[in-house]
Structure 1
Amino acid sequence: MSEASPRSRVRRAGLVYLVLLGAGAVGALLTAPHLDDPASVLAALLPTGAGAYLAWSAYRADRIEATAAEDPGAAADRLALAVRRQWEGEARARLGPRPLPVSWTAATVDLTGAPEPDRLSGRDAEIATVFTERLAAPRLLVLGDPGSGKTVLLVRLLLALIDGRRPADPVPVLFPLATADPAADLRGWMERRLVQDHPELGAAAPERYGEVTLARMLLDQRLVLPLFDGFDELPADAGARVLHRLNDELPYGCGMVLSSRPAEYRAALRPRTGVPARLTGTAAVLLRPLDGRDVADHLLADAGGAGTPAARRWDPVTAVLGTDAPVARALTSPLMVSLARTVYNPRPDEGHRRLPDPAGLLRLPTRAAVEHHLLAAFLGAAYRPRTGRPGRWTADRARVALRFLARHMERGLDGAAEVAWWKLHHVVPAALPRALAGALLGATGWLVEGTAMELDHRFAPNPLFPPLWEQRGGLGAVAAGICGGLAGGLAATAVITLLCVAAAGPGVSAELVLSRLGDCGSLALVGMTIAGFAFGARPRLRSPSGRHRWALLTGVSSALCYVLAYGNGAGVASSLLYGLTAAVVGADGVLRDPACPAARLRWRWTPRGVLRGLLGGTLLGSGILLEGLLAGVLAPGDGREYLAPPDPSAAFWAAQQVSAVFAVACLLVHGLRTVPVDLGVSVDVRALLANDRRTLGTCVLTAAVVGALVLGTQGWFATLFGSTRVWGATVAESRLWMYLVGLVPALLVGLAIGIRQAAWSRYTVARCWLALRAGLPLDLMAFLADAHDRGVLRRVGAVHQFRHIELQHHLAGPEAEPRRG
């Protein structure tokens, strides 16, 4: 039984201390109004700040110490465990109970530049011996025709090297070159692949290794042995450049393995333009065609053994194996043998009478015709009904979905020939997820804000501020601007306006519509500005040519709506201020796509971030103060209160409350960041999706609790120092309910942060879009898992690829036109 480490005990103690301190402070503030001297409570709480800072510093120091203690060898050991888990199951699925024997011989001189000795020849498991004992340097080139078993041989080598690995040895990792950008930095691409498949490697490395990730640290320390698969899948004009990059970034002495077809590798050695390239100090082996006797034994054994009725069906085919017949030449490839076995051999508890006759292969005139026939018949065979397990998808429906995915991978919209559920939003119009998120946040904000105002008015009534549902929802526009930028904010503005019009009923007026458009439009700009202040190392001021002109136009439009609604200048000052700020500060509030799905949240506070959040909240709150101070000029003589009270003191406290809301929003956006799943956990697609979905809920709950406590406490201090009302309710009756009202913006901001950082929200939009437009199943995750079980797809880390690139090319061909819904 293991015991908790000292660092863990310190961390728990610090967290418990902070929780008790917060609970005690809130309890004291709630009790203070019932005492004779409430100010004494504040005086008693002030000295606790030093203890709170000490506890937080101890907690942060322990986290930093734990990170600094990360040893490259320990990270490599965990990576080796994860790689073994990743590929053992895939090897069982690809090799099956009766793996085909694969043999090789030394490659010719024109491919290597020097004659290779016969000791490089071998068969099956000898590949590990060849690599570790028979090479002058750990650098090997594996050449073979399409479907000859190159990837399977690399997987066998990878597992054998991990089994024999010692603590200081590098970890073999399979890198699919088809997903690489030939023009990009090779090591940078390898780092991104490591982080994608093993997300814990995206954490920061110890300071002594520089400001790099754990993945980059392992690469720099030569603790990763790259196995590059699919060199032939690179663009035709990129092969020579990639070879030069391999020589430059993995010089002689750095181990590596590269697989390719011979023709594509020869073309890269002698490019039409540019300097010829050749891998330095690399031995090469050439995979041999399968022996006819081995193929016959494999097919008959899979059919139940020689002499069985299913096996006798193969007699016409086995009679010509080893000859020059088209079917015999086609069945020298492990891929074609595997496809033939799937198409013509029965499964357990399945008769052979309804299956096609293998003798039909003899009537095909060429080898290419045989291969095309097997590729075309494979999907129908893979989706045959299983005994006791009725399939959810027919072969025809699966073919439509798989054709679309194959074409998506061929186009490489996200730069990778793979299916990753968190990247599927690349096929969706870019503005759609933002607009839908904005509409959702707008409707949610209107509902939550109206409900909170109803409850507050019930327990702390204020005749001056009745809970009018037709004037609610502005905070939803702020959240939409944080999450979806201008597109999300405008979508929220439209939804909120429609809901307010519906709540007003037949008595709706033009003033109501225009005022809601002005309110929500300007508050959407506030959300954009909050995201600009909160994200990144520091706020980025746009150059004059790069300013967000649409944001400025939205600010002017909001000001015009106010003018038309009120017939005066109320709202113009704040709208123009928000439009100008959103146009020049930061980005549009949308984070870059995460490298991988989220697993949990962590606090990421920095002194600079806290100061930036306070400054951003103060700047945005000054719009309300400006409206109050200029009330006599903007709306002279009518005595109405518009965006801010005309009294300077009341306007100051109203601005202070709004500033607190915006500052808390800045701090939450800056501090709540996602972290990836643990490296030691087996990579499972459904687990990643579930973790990412739970992250959204955790984000909402965390932000709601923290924001409600901070904003409620801020309201309490405001009443203590002279504010006559808080959130529209009288001071005497609102001290308890100010926490409820403070919960509203915190809840909406937490929802915006969760939607923005969780890949699950984008995946939900993408799968619905693909189901409507491309005919893909709505339960896309289950479909991909089923295709993997049937052998159509293979899993590489947390993503799916087609079982073989030839199958992907066949499905993505011009004749495979997907149906449109």
Structure 2
Amino acid sequence: MGRSRTRRTGVIALLLLLGSTVAALVLYRRYHLSNGATLVGLVGGVTGLTGLWLTWAAFKADREEAAAGNLTLPAIADQLAIAVRRQWEDEAALRRLNDPYPLPVRWAPASSTLVDDWGSLVRLATSGAGWPPAAQPVAWATGPGGLGGGDAELVGLFDQVPTGRLVVLGEPGAGKTILIVRLVLGLLAEGRRASGGPVPVLVTLASWNPREQTLYQWLEQRLAADYPGLAEPAPGGIGGSRARALLDAGLILPVLDGLDEIPDPVRGATIARINDALRPGQRVVLSSRTVDYQQAISPPGRPEIRLTGATGIELRPLDVAVVADYLRGSAGGPAGVARWDPLLAAWPPPVAQALTTPLMASLARTIYNPRPGEPVLAAGRTPAELLDPTRFPTSTAVAEHLFDAFIAAAYRPHPDRAQRCPWPAADAERWLIFLARHLEHLGTPDLAWWQLSHAQPPWQRRLLTMLVAWLVAGLAFGLVFGLVFGLVFGLINGLINGLIYGFAAGLAVGLAGRLTGGVQPPRRAIRWRAPSVARLTGGLVLTVVLTVVLTVVLPTVLLGVIVIVLPFVLPFVLVFVITGVPADLAEAASSASILRLDRAAFRSLVIVIGLVVGLAVGLPFGLAGGLGVGLGFGLAVGLAGGLAVGLGQTAWGAFVLTRVWLAARGRIPFDLMAFLADAHEKRGVLRQVGAVYQFRHIELQRRLATR
């Protein structure tokens, strides 16, 4: 609906623009006007009607979109559930979580020193005071001892917790993230979630600074970034975004992954902030490494703090027999199974200790077993190499070897052309090492393209953006100015003078205002809102009235006010043709989709800023030197200014500059987005969480960063 309406608006705008031009020509012949600038004024004046109509159309469209605020909050929650389920089903398929079958994990109740007393949970859940009536308390476990089990029982276990608040603990690589992904999918399974009920949404905690934002403020930002449709206004005129409305209505079940990925000094504050935000009846899931959680809830010299009303489970190492069956089951047949026999028969203690975590077992499968479509011997390496006690005296040495061998295995040649990697393995490894160091420097696992400029030192970033602003603005101004004036004074002469003036102006742009010096968050293209539309509509009405009166009644006076009139009219024609389209709520955002939106915002800024600046600057020159002079000078200045502002005020502009600079130095590939998508979808090196990429495990990121 939104896209077709935008197309219709664009077509009608063009038709009205054509009609206004014809009307201006008729007026020109009737009044025998000879001044070119006056003709431009007539066109602009009549075009004001186009701008007025488009202003109203955009205002009305926005109201209609909000009234698709006929979409109630429960209906929005149902659409979000579809998006979340589709997102994690796709991610599970890419991670091969069910190939050859889900790797079984086990858990036991968490230590009583880490969670609230079970009696406290029951009293809280039955206290009333905002908690929903306990419909089936008989389904609750009788105590924490009933929470042991395996992942086939995870959703049932969650139902057994009276408060629905669960802490998932475990060692590095124990499978915490995979477990909560399965929990999310289980809660969203067909027939499991009631229509209009809360939606479990998995988010990583690494990007939250609890000292600056509340939990709901941060969650609102993350939801709007990961599911762009939630950035739209809430239905019913209640104010705020859909994301905030869902949070306030208790229709989001936060699944918070990776407390240990938040800096150590603020982990305790993180738990306190979560407690402050949780309302009666609010369920929540939190995951963390056991040691880090213990330190967070018992900070030295300060009172102990726990997640209010929460119990917990702690993941256990896998059974060696389970791991052996899993590795044999994905070995590609009898020949592949035979390759594992020497190792699995001996099971050296360091190897057994390392491979009894899901992470290491999955790395070993990638390194030593064939991928789908590969012959058995394509893996090259054999598991028997792990039998060498001098190379692998400890489980740490085994883990480091598996991390180091994983990248080469992920990028080894594939017999299927469609699966072949367009980048050499050595280059891919070098680029991934650079990106891992970049993330370690930022202190986050989130690889966001709009933060790539942080990979440069600040002085280098400022110098580069200043030089690019000078170059881009200078070339744009010089070429346009030179071509226009070259028609009068000769092409070579015009280009030389244009470039001289252009680079002088470009230097001023680069030095002034730091137009391209800041790191901007991604934009979602231009979209008008009611307050600004009201002001602009008033300005347009006044503009149109003045223009029509001056054109029809006092055409000679028009020349004196054209500088005031025209700059307020023409920009609106293009503004609404390029108005952003609301995102589909049933689709999760990706890095590529966010980049496309921000790139569209860049084009919008260049066009609108360029047109406004060009008209404002060009009209006085047109009045003094003629229509050709005014148009040429205005177009040159407007294009230069629009490019400079667009590069500086969009994340895409900074990303392009940084990407070219780093790629030229061999730090990243020129087509970075294609490389990241390939690393995620075909290599399994990265995973996607909402609009950002992450290394498949934080330990892989840290290992690469140290190489």
TM range (shorter): 0.7 to 0.9
CA deviations on 1:392-430 (whole Å, 9 max, x unpaired) are 333332222111111111121xx6422122221222333
Following superposition, the deviation at residue 454 of structure 1 comes to 3.5
Equivalence for 2:128: none
CA deviations on 1:683-716 (whole Å, 9 max, x unpaired) are 34444444544554465566778888x779x96x
Equivalence for 2:132: none
Larger RCO: 1 or 2 (CA < 8 Å, sep 6+): 2
Matched, 1:352 2:396: no
Equivalence for 1:317: 343
- 5 Å-filtered alignment, 1:201-240, equals 201-206=230-235, 208-210=237-239, 212-240=240-268
Equivalence for 2:220: 191
Following superposition, the deviation at residue 263 of structure 1 comes to 1.2
Amino acid at match of 1:596: P
- 5 Å-filtered alignment, 1:685-724, equals 685-697=591-603, 700=606
| Distance in 2 between residues matched to 1:255 and 1:319, nearest whole Å | 46
Equivalence for 2:412: 384
Equivalence for 1:341: 365
| Distance in 2 between residues matched to 1:593 and 1:77, nearest whole Å | 35
- 5 Å-filtered alignment, 1:204-283, equals 204-206=233-235, 208-210=237-239, 212-283=240-311
| Distance in 2 between residues matched to 1:436 and 1:158, nearest whole Å | 46
Equivalence for 1:111: 114
Following superposition, the deviation at residue 658 of structure 1 comes to 6.8
Equivalence for 2:22: 27
Equivalence for 1:430: 461
Equivalence for 1:641: none
Matched, 1:100 2:103: yes
TM-score under structure 2 length normalisation: 0.79
Q: Is the 8 A contact 1:142 1:259 kept in 2?
A: yes
Amino acid at match of 1:156: R
Amino acid at match of 1:135: V
Amino acid at match of 1:189: W
Following superposition, the deviation at residue 290 of structure 1 comes to 0.9
Higher Rg: 1
Equivalence for 2:480: 448
| Distance in 1 between residues matched to 2:518 and 2:566, nearest whole Å | 25
Matched, 1:493 2:504: yes
- 5 Å-filtered alignment, 1:166-181, equals 166-181=194-209
SS state at 1:175 partner? strand
Amino acid at match of 1:797: G
Give the total of aligned pairs.
Answer: 643
Following superposition, the deviation at residue 236 of structure 1 comes to 2.2
Following superposition, the deviation at residue 248 of structure 1 comes to 0.6
Q: Is the 8 A contact 1:422 1:759 kept in 2?
A: yes
Which residue of 308, 314, 317 corresponds with 1:286? 314
Following superposition, the deviation at residue 612 of structure 1 comes to 9.8
Following superposition, the deviation at residue 280 of structure 1 comes to 1.2
Name the Cα RMSD after superposition. 4.2
SS state at 1:259 partner? strand
| Distance in 2 between residues matched to 1:380 and 1:12, nearest whole Å | 48
Equivalence for 2:62: 63
Following superposition, the deviation at residue 272 of structure 1 comes to 0.8
| Distance in 2 between residues matched to 1:51 and 1:697, nearest whole Å | 21
Q: Is the 8 A contact 1:15 1:59 kept in 2?
A: no
Equivalence for 1:679: 585
Equivalence for 1:780: 672
* Residues 101 and 236 (structure 1), Cα distance of their counterparts in 2 relative to 1, 3 Å cut: same
| Distance in 1 between residues matched to 2:514 and 2:281, nearest whole Å | 47
Q: Is the 8 A contact 1:18 1:56 kept in 2?
A: no
Equivalence for 2:179: 153
| Distance in 2 between residues matched to 1:149 and 1:405, nearest whole Å | 24
SS state at 2:83 partner? helix
SS state at 1:393 partner? coil
Q: After alignment, is 693-702 or 23-32 more displaced?
A: 693-702
Amino acid at match of 2:484: A
| Distance in 2 between residues matched to 1:317 and 1:172, nearest whole Å | 41
Q: Is the 8 A contact 2:75 2:196 kept in 1?
A: no
Following superposition, the deviation at residue 300 of structure 1 comes to 0.8
SS state at 2:301 partner? coil
CA deviations on 1:357-400 (whole Å, 9 max, x unpaired) are 32332322222222222222222222222124453333332222
CA deviations on 1:767-809 (whole Å, 9 max, x unpaired) are 1222234532222222222222211111112221001111111
| Distance in 2 between residues matched to 1:260 and 1:45, nearest whole Å | 62
Which residue of 400, 405, 418 corresponds with 2:446? 418
Amino acid at match of 2:692: V
Q: Is the 8 A contact 2:229 2:584 kept in 1?
A: yes
| Distance in 2 between residues matched to 1:418 and 1:61, nearest whole Å | 38
| Distance in 1 between residues matched to 2:57 and 2:582, nearest whole Å | 24
CA deviations on 1:25-63 (whole Å, 9 max, x unpaired) are 322223433334559999999899789757743652342
Which residue of 394, 409, 412 corresponds with 2:424? 394
| Distance in 2 between residues matched to 1:309 and 1:475, nearest whole Å | 73
Q: Between the two proteins, what is the percent identity of the paired residues?
A: 39
Structure 1 unaligned residues grouped into runs of 5+: 459-465, 477-491, 497-519, 526-549, 552-586, 615-651, 817-821
* Residues 14 and 319 (structure 1), Cα distance of their counterparts in 2 relative to 1, 3 Å cut: closer
Q: Is the 8 A contact 1:456 1:737 kept in 2?
A: no
Q: Is the 8 A contact 1:195 1:595 kept in 2?
A: no
Q: Is the 8 A contact 2:52 2:537 kept in 1?
A: no
Equivalence for 1:538: none
| Distance in 2 between residues matched to 1:398 and 1:48, nearest whole Å | 54
Q: Is the 8 A contact 1:660 1:711 kept in 2?
A: no
TM-score under structure 1 length normalisation: 0.69
